[in-house]
Amino acid sequence: MSAAFAPRDERLAALSRDVFDIAVIGGGITGAAVARDAAARGLSVALVEKDDWAAGTSWRSTKLVHGGLRYLETGEVHLVFESLAERDLLLAAAPHLVRPAEFLLPSFRRRGRPAWQVALGLTAYDLLALGHAPSRHRRLSREQVVARERLLEGPELVSGAVYPDGRTDDARLTLENVLDAASLGAVAATRLEVVGLAPGRSGPAARVEVRDRESGRQVSVRARCVVNAAGPWADRVRRLEDATSAGMLRLSRGVHLVVPAGRLPLSGIVAFPMPDGRLLFAIPDGAVTLLGTTDTDFSGSPDAVFAERTDVDYLLAAARQTFPSAALIASDVLATFAGLRPLVFRPGKSVGKTSREEAIVVSEGGVVTVTGGKLTTHRRMGEKTVDRLAPILRRHGVAVPPSVTRGRPFPGAAQDMGSVVWDPDVWSSTLRDEALVHLLERYGCRVHKVLALTAAKPELRRPLVEGLPDIDAEVVFAAQEEDARSVADVFIRRTHLFWQAPRQGMEAAERAAALLARELHWSTEEERASLDAYAREISLSRACLSSS
Ligand code: FAD
């Protein structure tokens, strides 16, 4: 099996040499999905990302693949319907990355909907899943709720329900979209920032001016159509084409807290309503529990998005109200992460009531901006966007066949997992069981390549952090096969050490940097700079915790 990505310099050469059907700006889940859908239809695609795959909003989500129960309240039934259908497609097409999960929804006195309304909403949710859901919701008595989650016991608890939904690894889901697009011929590269845009109004192709953030060189990418999938930066990109273009985004900041699993031990995901009408989630994730999220207007720069002390206080107060005996306080918080929902501005709506539905807008110059939406609906957004490009491409003499991504397996699911697990290479590997299961869950059938690395160099079986299943080989694999180009890429978006490891993995980061240095031919200064950049990410994720 050859690598999906060609060497980076070959990709840069192709970007400046070829004329593409579509140039996609932004390598979050949306841009990655557009690139995958287009490449799978046989179109030629360039995909450029200014940082790393999923480095914008797409690694900072709650990591749920869900219908969005809450949107039934805002009357967005079609969005829930579409999300549930996409959830079920993803459960089948990426079983290693999107897993079914039972969500526990407790009902409380004086907050959230009364239990009978919740039951009605969950029945509607079951019906909208058209019977494809892994199971249906079940109502629970107060005692049954407490038997499942002891920490929910408190004077406000009345009863509860469990319902099926899904969870994922958002960054790796984005990456596998890109990997699939690349395996289908898309030319995709990171650290390429779009700095200029000249649409091809009358000429044969638009020009996308791209600056290589590693070398400082500028490259001109020519394409018949341009898609702006820059998420929270989409208005900035629109203004590269037309400086007077009106903003279409409403940015909403969402913050998560990371606390040790020992301080908030949960057996499964808890979705809990707040008195302000919001639905928050507590998600057990290995050594930690994630708590989120907030939903507040944001008007600053998308380049500088961090949790503030007020976010921490809000989430901790919510946790104390919901899990009284855990009595969480600020010193329990290990780290935070914050992201921006790139929602579409709708006059007269509060940020919480602003629709999560996507918008696809075509500028006068023919640049197509796609924004809004959800991680869950990314495939459908990709499909709808490429459908919108079809008439533009037809004018250039390019026929666009129908989408084929519905049901298309992701790269890690290209081979049946039963045959992977029973492959002699896998079960004869001398890895600890825990590490092997972890690798199978993370990489699916791509696990062979990681195991080939450990077979060639047994020292790469070493755990990156004692007590966690991640191994050194994953760093090498991330550099060789997954386009990782910094310690942060590996620790935040290829693994979860940023929030799961003690001290956010800073000690292991030194060894990871040395492994990356060998793979990417870094100088000592470059190795140091990558470590320093990761240390900065850690301190920014904790900055709001030091001010009281
Ligand atoms: P981004 O991921 O931000 O991608 C845009 C990319 O464009 C970035 O990587 C950026 O670096 C790049 N870019 C910008 N400018 C340029 C340029 N000039 N040149 C090149 N590249 C550029 N959805 C769910 O379905 N489930 C959830 O549980 C969920 N939870 C969420 C929780 C929070 C707190 C938030 C904020 C969102 C959540 N969402 C969830 C929504 C979902 O995460 C977003 O809708 C989705 O990630 C947006 O992806 P995107 O690709 O549009 O934007």
Residue 331, classed as helix, strand or coil, is helix
Residue range 192-214: mean pLDDT, rounded: 88
CA gap 115, 135 in Å, rounded: 20
CA gap 321, 153 in Å, rounded: 10
Q: What is the CATH number of the domain that holds 438?
A: 1.10.8.870
Q: What is the CATH number of the domain that holds 143?
A: 3.30.9.10
pLDDT score of 74 more than 80: no
**Among 337, 353, 369, residue at a domain's last position:** 353
Q: Are residues 447 and 387 in the same domain?
A: no
Q: At a CB cut-off of 8 Å and minimum separation 6, what does 468 contact?
A: 286, 287, 497, 500, 501
CA 531 to chain centre: 23
Residue whose Cα lies nearest atom 31 of ligand 1: it is 61
In a domain, 126, yes or no: yes
Residue 447 CA to ligand 1 center (angstroms) comes to 27
pLDDT score of 119 more than 60: yes
Task: Give the other-Cβ count within 10 Å of 3's Cβ.
Answer: 14
What is the DSSP-derived secondary structure letter of residue 233?
Answer: G
What is the DSSP-derived secondary structure letter of residue 360?
Answer: E
Q: Are residues 278 and 345 in the same domain?
A: yes
Contact 168, 98 (CB under 8 A): yes
What is the DSSP-derived secondary structure letter of residue 95?
Answer: T
In a domain, 301, yes or no: yes
pLDDT at 132: 67
Total count of domains within the chain: 3
Q: Are residues 541 and 458 in the same domain?
A: yes
pLDDT at 418: 73
pLDDT score of 133 more than 70: no
pLDDT score of 207 more than 90: yes
Residue 29 CA to ligand 1 center (angstroms) comes to 6
Query: Which long-range contacts (C-beta less than 8 Å, at least 24 apart) are formed by 197-204?
Result: 197/226, 197/237, 197/240, 197/241, 197/367, 198/241, 199/226, 199/241, 199/363, 199/365, 199/366, 199/367, 200/224, 200/366, 201/365, 201/366, 204/19, 204/396
CA gap 89, 389 in Å, rounded: 24
Residue 292 CA to ligand 1 center (angstroms) comes to 16
Q: Are residues 104 and 52 in the same domain?
A: no
Residue whose Cα lies nearest atom 44 of ligand 1: it is 374
Share of the chain above pLDDT 70, in %: 97
Query: What tokens were used for 248?
Result: 């279409």
Residue 364 vs residue 297, higher pLDDT: 297
How confident is residue 1, by pLDDT bands cut at 50, 70 and 90? low
Pocket test for ligand 1, best of 98, 233, 236, 369 (most atoms within 8 A of CB): 233
Q: Are residues 182 and 47 in the same domain?
A: yes
In a domain, 196, yes or no: yes
Q: Are residues 349 and 271 in the same domain?
A: yes
In a domain, 37, yes or no: yes
Residue 205 vs residue 314, higher pLDDT: 314
Strands (E), 60-122: 64-65, 98-108
Residue 57 CA to ligand 1 center (angstroms) comes to 3
Cβ burial of 364 (10 Å; 0-12, 13-18, 19+) is exposed
**Among 389, 407, 425, residue at a domain's last position:** 407
Cβ burial of 224 (10 Å; 0-12, 13-18, 19+) is buried
Contact 249, 51 (CB under 8 A): no
* Average pLDDT of the residues of the chain: 93
Q: Are residues 257 and 287 in the same domain?
A: yes
Which of 172, 185, 241, 157 shows the shortest CA–CA distance to 20? Answer: 185
Pocket test for ligand 1, best of 341, 385, 485, 489 (most atoms within 8 A of CB): 341
Q: What is the CATH number of the domain that holds 179?
A: 3.50.50.60
In a domain, 66, yes or no: no
CA gap 214, 217 in Å, rounded: 8
Residue 502 CA to ligand 1 center (angstroms) comes to 27
Element holding 283 (H helix, E strand): strand 279-285
**Continuous H helices in 288-432:** 309-322, 378-395, 417-421, 424-427
Distances, alpha carbon 167 to alpha carbons 24, 265, 424, in Å: 27, 18, 30
Q: Are residues 363 and 280 in the same domain?
A: no
In a domain, 65, yes or no: no
Query: What tokens were used for 169?
Result: 């690894």
Residues with C-beta less than 6 Å from any ligand 1 atom: 25-31, 48-51, 55-58, 60-64, 193-194, 229-233, 237, 254, 293, 339-342, 371, 373-376
Which of 54, 122, 56, 37 shows the shortest CA–CA distance to 84? Answer: 122
Q: Are residues 155 and 195 in the same domain?
A: no
Domain residues for the domain of 472 are: 417-546
Q: Are residues 433 and 515 in the same domain?
A: yes
Residue whose Cα lies nearest atom 12 of ligand 1: it is 26
Residue range 360-385: mean pLDDT, rounded: 94
Task: Give the other-Cβ count within 10 Å of 496's Cβ.
Answer: 24
How many residues does this entry show for the chain? 548
3-state percent helix, strand, coil for the chain, nearest multiple of 5: 45, 20, 35
**Among 407, 427, 443, residue at a domain's last position:** 407
What is the DSSP-derived secondary structure letter of residue 482?
Answer: S
Q: How far apart are the first and last CA of the chain?
A: 53
In a domain, 62, yes or no: no
Contact 390, 224 (CB under 8 A): no
Contact 53, 193 (CB under 8 A): no
Q: At a CB cut-off of 8 Å and minimum separation 6, what does 92 contact?
A: 407
Residue whose Cα lies nearest atom 26 of ligand 1: it is 64
In a domain, 36, yes or no: yes
How confident is residue 423, by pLDDT bands cut at 50, 70 and 90? confident
Q: Are residues 146 and 254 in the same domain?
A: yes
Question: Over the stretch 49-63, which tens digit does the pLDDT of each residue have?
Answer: 999 999 999 999 999
Please state whether beta strands 157-168 and 98-108 pair in parallel, antiparallel, or not at all (unpaired): antiparallel
Contact 491, 57 (CB under 8 A): no
Q: Are residues 240 and 372 in the same domain?
A: yes
